[in-house]
Structure 1
Amino acid sequence: MNATDPLLTVEDLNVRFPTRQGVIEAVRGTSFSVGRERVGIVGESGSGKSMTGRAILRLVRPPGEVSARRIDFMGEDLLSLSEREMRRIRGHRISMVMQDPKFSLNPVIRVGEQISEAYRLHTRASRRAARQKTLEMLEAVQIRDPERVYQTFPHEVSGGMGQRIMIAMMLIPDPDLLIADEPTSALDVTVQMRVLAILDKLVQERGMGLIFISHDLNLVSSFCDRVIIMYGGRIVETCRAAELDKAEHPYTRGLLAALPRLDQPQARLDVLERDPAWLKEQSVVAHV
């Protein structure tokens, strides 16, 4: 596969939840592609960005309904695969770091054993080989004294270390694509930068694609190659991160204007007096 070819192509993705008040459309007609690059998906809470990541891996639980014209991953349509075939891809060829990853760990199993289990599940490696690979992966995400951390329980590690442990677990099968859902949330700036540096290094060394989901436009624009802006379940704008200051959509411009600056009074995000149907008509997709 050429480095410029898309790893993932999503066409007309929709996620719906039936309720007593009617159907809630969490994701509406979303289309995008990801190559061996860093693509950021940004939007406020409820914009559909996390649900998009879950839908790609078919992790939306009933009564949620996922439909799409196509979710193509390296030539395979993920929607047409059986659950058994999806398990071959999920966590192996495509991995996902969930929000608050530390709390995704099993609290009664040692950290190292959980990472080793993830590796053995997809590779059939021996316990000894899996343990050695786990120690190497913990070192790769810049955890000091991997032997000690291997023996710890999740409640014994800090938030920043918990993030790195989950990143190690998701990367140990050597996936082609990593979906990171708010991997730096609730971390201080120093730890954030450390986690981003680890992700950047691993993406470059492994040549994998990264979908970086966040509500922090400033962070994504400085870290990613491309930025996708979501609002009301729709993609309203796509552009190169370096050209974000030239954004055309009123929602994106509002987000940029609301970023805090030391040399200006605190800004506020103006309310868009329109519904998402109007936003679809105003959507801007830059040719990148």
Structure 2
Amino acid sequence: MSTLLHVENLRVSFPTRTGVVEAVRGVSFALGQERLGIVGESGSGKSQTGRAIMGLTPQQAEIGARRLEFSGIDLLKASVSERRALRGNRIAMILQDPKYSLDPVMTIGRQIVETLRTHEKVSKSAARERALDMLAAVQIRDPKRVYDLYPHEVSGGMGQRAMIAMMLIAGPELLIADEPTSALDVTVQLDILRILDRLVIDRGMGLIFISHDLRLVSTFCDRVIVMYAGKIVEELKASELSQAKHPYTQGLLNCMPKIGADRHPLPVLDRKPEWLL
């Protein structure tokens, strides 16, 4: 399995009036054609890690790394135009809620076509056909009807599928999915996961799946990275998650509801452990 992405000692910090906030502190991992889950509570730095890879971190942020490389391209040294050419083309990112990601004054079809024609020289008619094919690929039953709808005219699940279609229309090699199912009900969540799973297998993509839902990540991903306070505290195979040794991962596991079994409360700490520092 070839490696698509190398991340070594990634750091992201934000200067504030009260000092520097370190959102990501020395994160390192590699990604091939697989499903890598990054899990952690809100504020753990998982989304900022994904945004740093995409080049979507706010301008005031300070980003540094020993190595941040995608398919042989040094992302830290790449120019603004080079990063723009990569985004949406070879690297794509699905955001959490389609209500805030899709343009409310453009039809769904027009947004997908615009994404494709930004990166490829295709005619309007050819772009329309490819957009319809992509809408069908993400299991939208009536692509022609949805193509002409505005985002507010579709459900949350269909909006998320349209967002996935828009991110995949140019055929990216790496897909970052930031909480792509958290705003959806359980049945729609499963549909979205099946779509992502099939695309990773069929297209040979690398997938970074960011979530706070440890159970979801453990059943869907191949490997899992657990983050806390900007750091990776544990990395292991998803199938071995129940054997996690780090106290923070164990705490997350203990918080998951268990049917027919008593939940174990988290231990009360009389002092801050070293891994919190």
TM-score by length of 1: 0.93
- Structure 2 counterpart of 1:284: none
Structure 1: any 5+ residue segments left out of the alignment? Answer: 282-288
Equivalences for 1:227-266 in 2 at 5 Å?
A: 227-266=224-263
- Structure 1 counterpart of 2:275: 279
2:207 to 201, 206, 210: 210
What residue identity is the alignment partner of 2:80? E
Tell me how far 1:267 sits from its aligned partner. Answer: 5.1
Tell me how far 1:133 sits from its aligned partner. Answer: 0.2
Equivalences for 1:128-143 in 2 at 5 Å?
A: 128-143=125-140
What residue identity is the alignment partner of 2:185? D
CA distance in 2, matches of 1:271, 1:228: 25
Tell me how far 1:64 sits from its aligned partner. Answer: 1.3
The RMSD of aligned alpha carbons is 1.4
- SS of the residue corresponding to residue 190 of structure 1 reads helix
TM-score by length of 2: 0.96
CA distance in 2, matches of 1:235, 1:158: 36
| Preserved contact between residue 234 and residue 280 of structure 1 (Cα < 8 Å) | no
1:58 to 42, 49, 55: 55
CA distance in 1, matches of 2:265, 2:110: 47
Residue deviations 1:133-182, cap 9 Å, x none?
Answer: 00000000000110000000000010101111100000110000000000
Q: 1:92/1:270 Cα in 2 relative to 1: closer, same or farther (>3 Å)?
A: farther
| Preserved contact between residue 255 and residue 269 of structure 1 (Cα < 8 Å) | no
| Preserved contact between residue 8 and residue 74 of structure 1 (Cα < 8 Å) | yes
CA distance in 1, matches of 2:82, 2:268: 44
2:176 to 174, 179, 191: 179
Q: Which 4+ runs in 1 deviate beyond 3 A?
A: 265-273
| Preserved contact between residue 229 and residue 276 of structure 2 (Cα < 8 Å) | no
| Preserved contact between residue 164 and residue 195 of structure 1 (Cα < 8 Å) | yes
Equivalences for 1:1-288 in 2 at 5 Å?
A: 4-266=1-263, 268-270=265-267, 273-274=271-272, 278-279=274-275
Corresponding pairs, count: 276
- Structure 2 counterpart of 1:285: none
What residue identity is the alignment partner of 1:15? V
